Amino acid sequence: MNSNKNGLQRISQAFDLARTNHTAALMPYFTLGYPSPETSLQVVQAISHHSHLIELGVPFSDPIADGPTIQRSTQLALEQGVTSKVCLDMLRELRHRGVETPALLMGYYNPIMAYGEEHYVRDAAAAGADGLIIPDLPPEEASVIAEAANRAGIALIYFLAPTSDERRKRLVLEQANGFIYMVSVTGVTGARATLHADLRNFVQSLKKQTEVNIAVGFGISGPEQASKVAKFADGIIVGSALINAVDAANDKAGAARAFVRDMQNSLLRI
């Protein structure tokens, strides 16, 4: 990992590299500890070669933003004793194994509060995290973690949706760094046949108001859908569809690698 750059710089560099290569940045999500701790490490290693960034799921007992696929994966990880601290150890191990892809930890607020907000941010950065995604932490209540993340040089990612009101949109645009996580559908995560009808217009409107990159997630079901979104978004996040592909295969890492490689190929804009 390039120790001369902080997490914010590495995230920005990943989006810049994708743009230079005429593609959207691909950011797969995978749950740490699923279907076992070692297998999840192997999966992340495999997909890192075809990803611009990686979102690593930190298991929690009440993942309110996640659909049934990710809920199932996090529950199984929890049953195997995968805690926030274990996830930090796993990220540290991934860096030790040579995974240099920018990585963001996606987890809920309660375990972070129990760990100690500033302590968690500091430990996450030390383990090799480039950013944090906390779906149940609104920007109005994020000051402690945001300040700690700023000191550590890592991103704290905020969410927007086509249904967001003007006050929330303005607040996120003022505070956003790294990228803005654009929710493509109402409801929880999970592959969808269709996305929000106003998604394209909303993203294009936001891009006129900010230079912060915009990545679309929640609902991307496969390469065809990703290809359409890549025409107007800076990044694509895919999670449930990847986990489904891994579930269906005996060779978990091989299936993950093939799925992400196909996704990456679909995002080319030329």
Active-site positions read 55, 66
C-alpha 157/C-alpha 97 separation (Å) is: 26
- Is residue 10 packed enough to be buried (19+ CB in 10 Å), middle (13-18) or exposed (0-12)? buried
φ and ψ of 181, to 5 deg: -90, 105
156, containing H or E segment: strand 155-160
Which of 75, 74, 79 lies closest to 56, judged by CA? 74
Within 13 Å of residue 51, how many CA atoms lie on the same side as its CB?
Answer: 31
Rg of the chain over CA atoms, in angstroms? Answer: 17
Tokens in use for 266? Answer: 């679909």
